[in-house]
Structures are given as C-alpha cells and as structure tokens.
Amino acid sequence: MAAEAPVFEKLFRACRRSAVHLEMRDAYMPSDPMFVAWQKDRSVDHAADPEWQPWLDFMSEVVGRGVEVRRARIVSEPVSEYIRFEHAVTDMNVRAGEQVRWLARRRATDLALPGNDFWLFDEETLLVNHFDGDGEWQSEGGTEVVSDPAVIKLCATAFGAVWDRATPHEDYRPA
C-alpha cells in the first residue's frame, strides 16, 4: 500500500459513499518484492505475499459497508513492464469489490489532469500521493491531505472524465 497506513486507513474508515483513485504513472515501486518475483516468471502467487491479503480483506470490508471504490489508471502504450504486472494482479482488486478501468494516455490529451495521483473520499477529502522519479514511495511527505474545495473539484472532475472514457478492466488488453 502506497499511502502512509494510519492516514490512509483513517480516511477509508471514515468514508461513507465513495473512494476514487487516479493513477497516472507507468511505474510504481520497482523494488516491490511482488513485482520483482513476477518479473522472474510472470506468475502471480497472491497467497505468497503477506501484504496482499490484508488489502483485499480491507477492500472487501469497505465495499461491504456500501462504499463504492473505483480506480482509474492512465497508462502509456505499449505498456511498461510494471503496468503489465499491475494488470496481472488487478483481478484480485476486482474480486475484493473494486471497480477498475484503464485509459490509454493518448486518449487523455484533452483532459485537464492534476499533477499527482490521488485518492478522493466522499468528494470531500483528497489524499495526494507523492513518488520520486523512479516511482518509489517518498518516505517523508509521501502523502498530503487536501481539503481545498477548488482542488477537490478539479480532482473529482478529472477522475470523472477519465472514468467515463476508460475501458473496464475485464475488457482491457495491455498493448
């Protein structure tokens, strides 16, 4: 999980209606042991990753109490090695109740997008994620909570535009 756990979990636990996540990078945390293992044989063993099941259980709990969780990913095509991996593991997110869509970057040229990935909770609280140039999580200042209505409106509008244009996970084939 990218966001600092206490803040992230607190925001999810307080969430009542919706949590949306916009991802716009072509690589995240290349040092992630699950990604490193996948690179060796292109197989995914979710049971072997001790961090994976708690996330799935948490998402199942959140969705089970009526929160709609949507994740949209803007990706360059042909996709990066990391995005190929991410696509391979996304079935688990979907089984836990997340809705996931993919948008080719070339189809996003006319969209106004924020400069960073984010989670938006109930269209009221924004959690901005900060990564370094290699896609590694910034250990200090990795998240920023924003409540400015103008920024929230920008991010909500951006997510909506991406979501409307993006392809559902079950129909997306990485190019």
**Residue 83 included in any domain:** yes
The CB-based long-range contact list for 134-142 (8 Å cut-off, 24+ gap) reads 134/27, 134/30, 135/25, 135/27, 135/28, 135/29, 135/30, 135/82, 136/29, 136/30, 136/31, 137/2, 137/29, 142/2, 142/3, 142/4
Closest of 130, 100, 118 to residue 156, by C-alpha: 118
**Residue 137 included in any domain:** yes
Closest of 26, 46, 23, 25 to residue 34, by C-alpha: 46
> In terms of residue numbers, what domain contains 106?
5-39+49-171
**Residue 90 included in any domain:** yes
**Residue 44 included in any domain:** no
Give the predicted TM-score (pTM) of the model. Answer: 0.91
What pLDDT band is residue 18 in, cutting at 50, 70 and 90?
Answer: very high
Phi, psi of 104 (to 5 degrees): -65, 135
CATH number at residue 72: 3.30.870.10
Residue 48 has pLDDT above 80, yes or no: no
Could you read off the pLDDT of 75-111 as tens digits, one per residue? 999 999 999 999 999 998 998 999 999 999 999 999 9
Residue 1: its pLDDT value, please? Answer: 40
Residue found under tokens 């924004």: 126
How many CB atoms are located within 10 Å of the residue 100 CB? 23
DSSP 81-113: HHHHHHHHHHHHHHHTT-EEEEEEGGG-TTS--
Domain count, the chain: 1
